[in-house]
Amino acid sequence: MGAKSVQELSISDQDLPQNYIYKGSDFGLLDASLPFMEVPIIDFGLLTSPSSSIEELEKLRSALSSWGFFQAVNHGMEITYLDKVREVTEQFFALPQETKQKYHREDDSTEGYGNDMIITENQTLDWSDRLFLTVNPQERRQLRFWPEYPETFREILNEYTMKLQVMTEVLLKAMAGSLNLEENSFLDMFGEQLQALIIARFNFYPPCPRPDTVLGCKPHADGTALTILLQDKEVEGLQVQKDNQWYRVPVIPEALVINLGDQGEIMSNGIFKSPVHRVVTNKERERISLAVFFIPNSDKEIEPVNGLIDETRPRLYKKVKDYVSIYFQYYQRGRRPIEAAII
Ligand SMILES: O=C(O)CCC(=O)C(=O)O
Ligand SMILES: [Fe+2]
């Protein structure tokens, strides 16, 4: 049944297993003296067409082409609702270990509860336990991995991801609008009516005895088109890289953190960035987050939108299909999967 959960490791007096020690050369700067990112805050209410504000679209374009990250406010979900989503996440991870094991993922599969998937020898493991659930398309749901406790878990996950789906449609249209493209240019790449693969990844980061050498999540860029992240309400940990410098992503309890993934960068012909980010650990407090991944259907070919290719901006990426399948292999070897798509 595989290794101990990170949660169990965090409370055992056993020495820290060596494979959690991060060996990359880019560790170093884990202290709080790192600068905060100058986080672009986008008012979602102003993005909704047909009256979307030119100014807000310009802010969106600028955020996605510099950071690849922004914080979304006025997205239609009250903070009390976001707190409910956080609460069921905390409640799940607080269940007794035997109960959580009921939802344990198989060693060779991502779906379910468990810690970092082991793909290569010598791989550094992330200091986190996760619950990974496919939400959409509905027929791909594997309900045996969906917690039955807390009782509202399934209902909230279903409802929350439906709300995010609506946001994603608005966002994809606004992204196109911000580049003067036809409104459905990005949306169409997902397939009919956003028939996206939607995956929810609940992350749990227990306190870590060695935050100076252990990461909650290794540096990576997401393989998605878009990711919508609900951060812990109080505990910071997410950092983003820009021009070889790491920045802290501030906690804004009522906001959703949105970032572009590799497939979003490919569609935009490199105008929008898929940012490298990581999660650091701390000694005192646990941290939770919920990342929801929006991924074009695996039978859809993804390529730069036509209107974004011209003499001054040649096509930068090849057509890719089922990008996710190569993604994990590259990631666990510490390479950027998007390299596979560069012309
Ligand atoms: O926990 C976080 O803040 C980020 C998690 C993340 O990057 C991911 O799940 O891909
Ligand atoms: Fe990520």
Q: What is the CATH number of the domain that holds 234?
A: 2.60.120.330
> Looking at ligand 1, which residue's alpha carbon is closest to its atom 6?
291
Is 14 part of any domain? Answer: no
Residue 207 is given by DSSP the state -
What is the longest distance spanned by two Cα atoms in the chain?
A: 62
Residue 16 is given by DSSP the state P
Where in the sequence is the domain holding 98, given as residue range(s)? 24-341
Instruction: Quote the tokens at residue 199.
Output: 């995956």
Q: Which residues pair with 134 in a beta bridge?
A: 199
Q: Which amino acid makes up residue 204?
A: F
In this prediction, residue 142 carries a pLDDT of 97
* Residue among 129, 132, 203 to mutate when testing ligand 1 (max atoms within 8 A of CB): 203
Is 59 part of any domain? Answer: yes
Is the ipTM beyond the 0.85 threshold? Answer: yes
In this prediction, residue 1 carries a pLDDT of 44
* Distance between Cα 58 and ligand 2 center (Å): 25
* Distance between Cα 4 and ligand 1 center (Å): 21
CA distances from 54 to 47, 48, 67, 104, 172 (A): 9, 11, 20, 47, 15
Q: What are phi and psi of 97, to 5 degrees?
A: -55, -40
Atom of ligand 1 nearest to the CA of 128: 1
> Looking at ligand 1, which residue's alpha carbon is closest to its atom 3?
238
What is the Cα 305 distance to its own chain's centre?
Answer: 23
Residues 6+ apart with CB under 8 A from 239: 34, 246, 247, 248, 249, 277, 278, 279, 280
Rounded to whole angstroms, the Cα distance separating 337 from 343 reads 13
Atom of ligand 1 nearest to the CA of 222: 10
pTM: 0.95
Is 194 part of any domain? Answer: yes
Q: Are 135 and 157 in contact (CB under 8 A)?
A: yes
In this prediction, residue 109 carries a pLDDT of 86
pLDDT in tens, the chain (343 residues): 457 899 999 998 888 888 899 876 665 555 557 888 888 999 999 998 667 799 999 999 999 999 999 999 999 999 999 999 999 999 999 999 999 999 999 888 889 999 887 777 778 899 999 999 999 999 999 999 999 999 999 999 999 999 999 999 999 999 999 999 999 999 988 876 557 899 999 999 999 999 988 999 989 999 999 999 999 999 999 999 999 999 999 999 999 999 999 999 999 999 999 999 999 999 999 999 999 999 998 888 899 999 999 999 999 999 998 888 878 767 766 678 898 899 9
Is 245 part of any domain? Answer: yes
**Ligand 2 ion: nearby residues, β-carbon < 5 Å:** 222
Is 217 part of any domain? Answer: yes
In this prediction, residue 26 carries a pLDDT of 60
Q: Are 196 and 297 in contact (CB under 8 A)?
A: yes
Selection from 164, 233, 170 nearest residue 199 by Cα = 164
In this prediction, residue 2 carries a pLDDT of 53
In this prediction, residue 237 carries a pLDDT of 95
CA distances from 295 to 234, 252, 283 (A): 29, 25, 34
* Distance between Cα 223 and ligand 2 center (Å): 8
Cis peptide before 35 (omega within 30 of 0): no
> Looking at ligand 1, which residue's alpha carbon is closest to its atom 9?
291
* Distance between Cα 343 and ligand 1 center (Å): 28
Q: How many domains does the chain have?
A: 1
Is 175 part of any domain? Answer: yes
Angle 327-274-333 from CA coordinates, rounded to 5°: 35
- Which ligand lies nearest the alpha carbon of 220? 2
Q: Which helix (H) or strand (E) holds 178?
A: helix 153-178
The position carrying tokens 């779906």 is 111
Q: Which residues pair with 197 in a beta bridge?
A: 295
Atom of ligand 1 nearest to the CA of 227: 10
How, if at all, do strands 41-43 and 69-73 pair?
parallel
String of DSSP letters for 125-147: PPS-EEEEEEEESGGG--GGGS-
* Distance between Cα 194 and ligand 1 center (Å): 23
Ligand 1, CB cutoff 6 Å, lining residues: 201, 203, 217, 222, 229, 231, 237-238, 277, 279, 289, 291
Is 280 part of any domain? Answer: yes
Q: Is 268 helix (H, G, I), strand (E, B) or coil?
A: coil
* Distance between Cα 53 and ligand 1 center (Å): 30
Is 38 part of any domain? Answer: yes
- Which ligand lies nearest the alpha carbon of 249? 1
Q: If 0-12 CB within 10 Å is exposed, 13-18 middle and 19+ buried, where does residue 38 land? A: exposed
